[in-house]
Amino acid sequence: MSSATAFLARRLFSVRGMRSSQRVMFLVAVVGMTLAVATLFVALSLARGFEHAYRQSLLGFHAHVVLLAQGEVSDATSMLAALPERVHGLTEATPFLYREGLFIGKGSIKGVVLKGIDLQDPSWRERFRVSGNSKGEGVILGKAVFPGVDVGETVKLLIPKQHAGQSPFLDLAVAGTFSSGLYDSDSQFALIDLEQLRKLFGDPSDVITGIELFLDDPERAQSVAVSLEEWLPPTLRPVTWQELNAELFEAIRLEKTVLAIIMGMLVLVAALNIIAVVTVVIHARTREMAILSTLGISRRQRMKLLMRLGFTPGLWGTLLGLSLGIVVAFLLTRTSIIPIDPEVYLLDRLLLDLSPLLCGIIGVFSLGVTCLVAAVASQKLVSLPIIEGLRQAR
Amino acid sequence: MSLVHAHDIRKRYVDGPVPVEVLRSVSLTVEEGDIVGICGASGSGKSTLLHLLGGLDRATAGEVFFDGLPLSHRTDEELAHLRNRSIGFVFQFYHLLTECTALENVMLPCLIAGVNRGEATTRATEVLVEMGLSDRAGHHPALLSGGEQQRVAIARAIVMRPRLLLADEPTRNLDRATGESVWTLLTDLSERHRMTMVVVSHNRDLLRTLPRVLELKDGRLDAEAA
Ligand SMILES: Nc1ncnc2c1ncn2[C@@H]1O[C@H](COP(=O)(O)OP(=O)(O)OP(=O)(O)O)[C@@H](O)[C@H]1O
Ligand SMILES: [Mg+2]
């Protein structure tokens, strides 16, 4: 059955056999589909790239599961010792302390969260991409707290709560800077040794904000949190990174959805050109269709023939669009043609996540839309008047 | 049983500025193997009648029976199937597909019937040989003479070995000698394959060779007033 329609499509609807006006319409349909599919692909790759980058940076700087202290935690040390046994795949568990302070340096004042951790642990240097010497007393500033600050400079820290008689200003040496990849973290955090932080703020030596857990697989955070819930004392509450950043990821998810819908509409609009192509080409073939009707071509076969006609520009557009999208996305990641403002986007470079799965989904979607549009057009045009067609055929 | 039977058919065209009653009351019975000639003035409705007999169009009233079954009860899909398997058309203007070679034109009904390419090629070649066109198989219609084009069209009409051949002025576009040879070809084919044929023509000389000729006049079909 298909051999008749394939044969006729080749003879009657080949691009080479089209009149120039029809060829232009065909071209417009292909170009439209190409651009729409490419845009959809680049836009979604970009959105996925951002999501991925946020995640990477977040998971680098922030823990996968945080055990938040609710009041006094007296037995933190024994708990830390027991954690590796309880938590499968635990790579790290560190107590931390958050304190807020105002930094004065480089002629400006910045409100900063001081994060006290065990800075003797060398793994932090890698995690936070610390530059400079972090050994000894001092503070490691986020690289965007005071841009351009040099290691060894001193900055002043204004502490809100102090002992009587103590100056509210403390001089701290900058031991280094860190870069987490997230502008938010880089501009609002400073790392400092846990013990030193407690001393500065006059805290007792066992006070912590919580314990940070890092896992080999961040996706297991939820199950780890659930399993720890019963075991932990009521003073420690496990919170996962997904919960901590729920709003951010919800926003990204929404952005991705909206983007997909709008760009998907673009593909649909581009596919509508196919109706024009099928209409124009088939009307120019009234004679041939009438002749084929006298030979007994069935409605189903005519439908197949029209579907083929409509599917061709969609197929070309989809293939070319995906290719173009991949090339553009590749260029965007490799070159910085489009500079982005880290203060706006939290990230300092454009990231695209080129996924074969995304490629496949967009391809299937685009071809599906093509089929749908081609089917609608074919349905409208499949019944051509035979007798009139024969009259034309002179 | 008669192969084709038209019972009191009427055809009215209402799509023009004024309705035209082309066929008022036409009845016709064609037995299997018969050759019937139809003549009539231009515009008398000869083509219209052939279209109705071949199921290309539907009558306004009355009924056409093919092999005893009424056409009006058949769906478009069934009519298409009938045209493909049981009815062959030959037209004044050949109506070949210019994009296809002679051979491919003849293959078309087979391909539409779902016959595979190889088998279709074999059948089409056989018929082209029968038409004396074996050396023209690869030619496109534009390269063929009028007579050759009409013979390709006839080959295409009979390649499925239809029971009924409907020919609408098959010789009108041809010069006298060619027209006569095409006419002879058609009547010989019909006799050889016992293929029922209804042929429309203006040419009285050619019509005279047929045993039965009817004239369409004022929307009615009568035995020709000789
Ligand atoms: N679709 C239509 N709408 C209106 N009138 C039509 C239509 N088709 C045919 N007619 C009219 O019907 C009449 C018969 O047409 P038809 O083609 O059957 O005549 P014919 O006998 O074959 O003529 P000719 O010898 O010139 O081929 C003509 O007057 C024509 O104008
Ligand atoms: Mg006519």
Q: Is A387 helix (H, G, I), strand (E, B) or coil?
A: helix
Inter-CA distances, A149 with A52, A139, A176, A346, Å: 30, 12, 9, 20
Contacts of A386 in chain B (CB under 8 A): 56-57
**B20 Cα nearest atom in ligand 1:** 5
Residue carrying structure tokens 């530059």? A131
Q: How far is B184 from chain A (nearest CA, A)?
A: 23
pLDDT band at B75, cuts 50/70/90? very high
In terms of CA atoms, which chain B residue is nearest residue A301? B112
- Other beta carbons less than 10 A from residue A154's beta carbon: 14
pLDDT recorded at residue A76? 72
pLDDT at res. A1: 43
A59 vs B95, higher pLDDT: B95
Q: Is the pLDDT of residue A141 over 60?
A: yes
Residue B139 has pLDDT above 70, yes or no: yes
Evaluate if residue B104 carries a pLDDT over 50: yes
Q: Are residues A121 and A221 in the same domain?
A: yes
Q: Is the model more confident about A1 or about B17?
A: B17
Take atom 24 of ligand 1 and give the residue whose Cα is closest. B42
> How distant, in Å, are the alpha carbons of A59, A68, A95, A238 from that of A210?
17, 4, 6, 9
Q: What's the pLDDT at B59?
A: 93
pLDDT at A172: 86
The conformation of residue A347, written as its DSSP 8-state character, comes to: S
φ and ψ at residue A367, rounded to 5 degrees: -70, -35
Q: Is the dihedral of CA A157, A163, A167, A173 positive or negative?
A: negative
The values of phi and psi at residue A15, to 5°, are -60, -35
Q: What is the pTM of this model?
A: 0.78
Whether A161 shows a pLDDT value over 70: the answer reads: no
Residues A44 and A68 in one domain: no
* Same-domain pairing of A222 and A148: yes
Which structural domain range is residue A383 located in? 3-58+248-392
CA of B40 relative to ligand 2 center, distance in Å? 10
DSSP track, chain B: --SEEEEEEEEEE-SSSS-EEEEEEEEEEE-TT-EEEEEE-TTSSHHHHHHHHTTSS--SEEEEEETTEEGGGS-HHHHHHHHHHHEEEE-TT----TTS-HHHHHHHHHHHTT--HHHHHHHHHHHHHHTT-GGGTT--GGGS-HHHHHHHHHHHHHTT--SEEEEESTTTTS-HHHHHHHHHHHHHHHHHTT-EEEEE-S-HHHHTTSSEEEEEETTEEEE---
A88 and A230 assigned to the same domain: yes
Q: Which residues in chain B (145-174) have CB-CB distances under 8 A to chain A?
A: 156
- How does DSSP classify residue A19? -
Q: Please give the tally of structural domains in chain A.
A: 2
pLDDT at A301 over 60: yes
Is residue B179 in contact with ligand 1, taking CB distance under 6 Å?
no
Residue nearest to atom 8 of ligand 1 (CA): B13
A131 shares its domain with A151:
yes
Local confidence band at A343 (pLDDT 50, 70, 90 cut-offs): low
Shared-domain flag, residues A181 and A256 = no
Distance from CA of B213 to the nearest CA of A (A): 25
Cβ neighbors of B43 (< 8 A, separation 6 or more) are none
User: Using CB atoms, which residue from B85, B99, B114 is nearest to A1?
Assistant: B114
User: Which residues does chain A have within 8 Å of residue B117's beta carbon, measured at their own beta carbons?
Assistant: 3, 7
DSSP for A216-270, written as a single string: SSGGGHHHHHHHHHHHS-TTEEEEEHHHHTHHHHHHHHHHHHHHHHHHHHHHHHH
Q: DSSP secondary structure string, A192-204?
A: EEHHHHHHHHT--
| A183 and A126 inside one domain | yes
Residues A316 and A302 in one domain: yes
pLDDT tier for residue A9 given thresholds of 50, 70 and 90? very high
- Residue A136's pLDDT is 57
B15 and A CB contact within 8 Å: no
pLDDT of A391 reads: 84
Same domain, A100 and A120: yes
Residue B92 near ligand 1, beta carbon < 6 Å: no
pLDDT of A273 over the 80 cut:
yes
Partners of B21 in the beta sheet?
Answer: B12
How does pLDDT run across A48-93, given as a tens digit for each residue? 888 888 787 778 778 888 888 887 666 677 778 888 888 888 888 8
Q: Which of residues A209, A241, A273 is at a domain's end?
A: A241
| Residues A299 and B80: beta-carbon distance below 8 Å | yes
Q: Are A362 and A44 in contact (CB under 8 A)?
A: yes
| Cβ separation A296–B111 shorter than 8 A | no
Give the A:B interface size as CB pairs under 8 Å. 77
Q: CB count, 10 Å around CB of B93?
A: 18
pLDDT of residue B170: 94
Q: Are residues A213 and A312 in the same domain?
A: no
Same domain membership, residue A323 and residue A279: yes
CB of B16 within 6 A of ligand 1: the answer is yes
Ligand 1 atom having least distance to the Cα of A387: 1
- pLDDT, tens digit, 9 for 90 and up, residues B13-62: 988 889 999 999 999 999 999 999 999 999 999 999 999 999 999 999 99
Give how far A51 is from chain B: nearest CA, Å.
53
Higher pLDDT, A333 or B3: B3
Tell me if B201 CB under 6 Å of ligand 1. Answer: no
CB contact under 8 A, B108 and A292: yes
Going by alpha carbons, the residue nearest to atom 6 of ligand 1 is: B13
Amino acid A158: pLDDT: 85
Q: Does A371 lie in the same domain as A306?
A: yes
Q: In this prediction, what percent of chain A has a pLDDT beyond 90?
A: 30
With pLDDT > 70 as the criterion, what percentage of chain A qualifies?
89
pLDDT > 90 fraction of chain B, expressed in percent and rounded: 91
Rounded-to-integer distance, Cα A240 and Cα A11, Å:
63
Q: What pLDDT shows up at residue A227? A: 86
> Which of A224, A241, A258 corresponds to the end of one domain?
A241
> B44: Cβ below 6 Å to ligand 1?
yes
pLDDT higher than threshold 60 for residue A346 = no
Examine the fold and report which residue of A190, A206, A241 is the final residue of a domain before the chain moves on: A241
Tokens of A83: 């954690």
